Amino acid sequence: MTQTAATASIEGPGKGKAFFDRAKTVAESGNYDYAIDMYIEGLNREPTNIAEHQALRDIALHRKIKGGKAAGGLLGPKSPYKGKTPKEAMLNAEWILAKDPGNIPSMVTMVRNADLAGYRDVVMWVAPILVGANRTNKSPKKDIFLELADIYKKHDEFLKATECVNHALEMSPTDMDLIARIKDLAAQETLRKGKYEGAQSFKDSIKDAAATKDLLQEENIVKSEDYRLKMIEKARADYEANPKEVQNISKLSAALVAMDDEQYENEAVVVLDKAYKELKVYRFKLAIGDIKMKQMKRNIGILKEALKLDPADKDTERSLVEALKERLAFELEEFKERADHFPTDMAVQYQYGLRLYEAKRFDDAIGIMQLAQNNPRHRVDALHILGRAFLTQGMKPEALETLKKAIDEYDLAETGDQKSKELHYWLARVYEDVGQIQNAINTYSQITQWDFNFRDARQRLAALRAKIEEKK
């Protein structure tokens, strides 16, 4: 294929027609590879022409049925464009996908770059294809569902985002974070439908209290204890009727966990443990681990609150220290097993690397975080921990480069949110350690302007300025 410059000047309605017409002609003669090239050239000129994206998809499927092979080569497939812009990266992925219609990584790359390019219609066209492919894959990736949920949410497609999170929840039925996300999305969809955006809060926007309660319950935003008990009763009846049905096991365990009560959670553990031993479905073992981590987190929270009330209570302080050690030991073992079981799931690797860092196993953490940084959802966080691990190990040039990269790749790095403050703080610490004092001063100054009391940034800034004054 001729390399075509991706410039706005070649784009416009109808500018791809000659290529699309040629593609259809050669496809009729069975020359699918050339047809694919022509479609891509046409889409370079009309990147939002959904009818032609679909026509290319149809040709790709016909080619596959006729025995067409995926693009290959010793160094991998040679993409048509350099991929320097989101549009080029999207078209490169679509070209590979046309040669291999089930290629999930290419679908991910395509939807991600279509979103970056602002091609909303393309996102809405390809995202359902990716959802279907991931669902039917032998090893579906929860992270793909969650990334799609984020993209759908960005475009105010809250119902579609909810569907994606529900698919993720099917894989981790007791994940309370996912349940919370579903509640949040339900609320946002209700706001969108009812045009309540101008109200101070969703509840305040509805004057009738009874209607508010009914609507909130219907939308799964709040659930009374009676409602949750009814859900358990229904789920238990289904489970007892067919205790080996995976969906029944998941629904009962999720309903029990939703009570936020240790007694019900322990019953969920019994149900899940029995199911795992009988059916060998690994996600049930994951759910047990999630419940135990939730319980440990809750108990630690109780101890912290107790210590706030009586800071001099040494028994509570010792109990808190022991609880923190116990939790870290459990989570290290839990995520080590998960990382071994899912070696290509970078979200799991990130969680394991985080525990290694917390356990001060910095060399091990560096190795794992170098893998985890390939996960788009956790890339910036992985780079953050990686940079700090390098710093702790005395690898200051590596720490400096890694933290700079984290800031460069964080979209909100200049907003002063919590993450940007953390990233800039540790970058300033590295600047200080390597003797780049003015850079350290500038960075501490920026943090102080965002948040006057953030960590010890203000004190470090004052100390560095005092040193400079002493040298004058």
Fold (topology level) of 8-218: 1.25.40
SS3 for 161-214, per residue?
A: HHHHHHHHHHHCCCCHHHHHHHHHHHHHHHHHHHCCCCCCCCHHHCCCHHHHHH
**What confidence tier does 404 reach under pLDDT thresholds 50, 70, 90?**
very high
Give residue-wise pLDDT tens across range 277-326. Answer: 999 999 999 999 999 999 999 999 999 999 988 999 999 999 999 999 99
With 0.95 as the threshold, say if the pTM is over it: no
pLDDT mean over 409-423: 89
Q: Which amino acid is at 468?
A: I
Compute the distance between CA of residue 414 and CA of residue 424 in angstroms, rounded to an integer. 10
Please state the rounded mean pLDDT for residues 344-362.
Answer: 95
pLDDT confidence of residue 471: 83
Instruction: Using alpha carbons, select from 202, 220, 198 the residue that is nearest to residue 212.
Output: 202
Q: Percent of the chain scored above 70 by pLDDT?
A: 90
Domains 8-218 and 225-339 share a fold: yes
d(C-alpha 155, C-alpha 5), whole Å: 29
**Alpha-carbon dihedral sign for residues 72, 85, 345, 409:** positive
Question: Is the pLDDT at 205 greater than 50, yes or no?
Answer: no
pLDDT (average), residues 124-142: 92
Q: What is the mean pLDDT of residues 125-137?
A: 94
Domain ranges of the chain: 8-218, 225-339
pLDDT of residue 452: 95
**pLDDT at position 9:** 65
CATH of 225-339, one of 1.20.1540, 3.30.460, 1.25.40, 3.30.390: 1.25.40
User: Which residue has better confidence, 71 or 33?
Assistant: 33
Q: Check residue 355 and give its pLDDT.
A: 98
Q: What is the pLDDT of residues 228-262, one digit of tens each?
A: 889 899 999 999 999 999 999 999 999 999 888 89
More confident residue, 18 or 417: 18
- Give the tokens for residue 295: 């319980």
Cα separation, 140 vs 368, in Å, equals 22
Look up residue 70 and give its DSSP letter: P
- Would the pLDDT of 151 be above 60? yes
Report CA-CA distances (Å) from 251 to 170, 171, 172, 207. 9, 12, 11, 34
C-alpha of 361 from chain center: 25
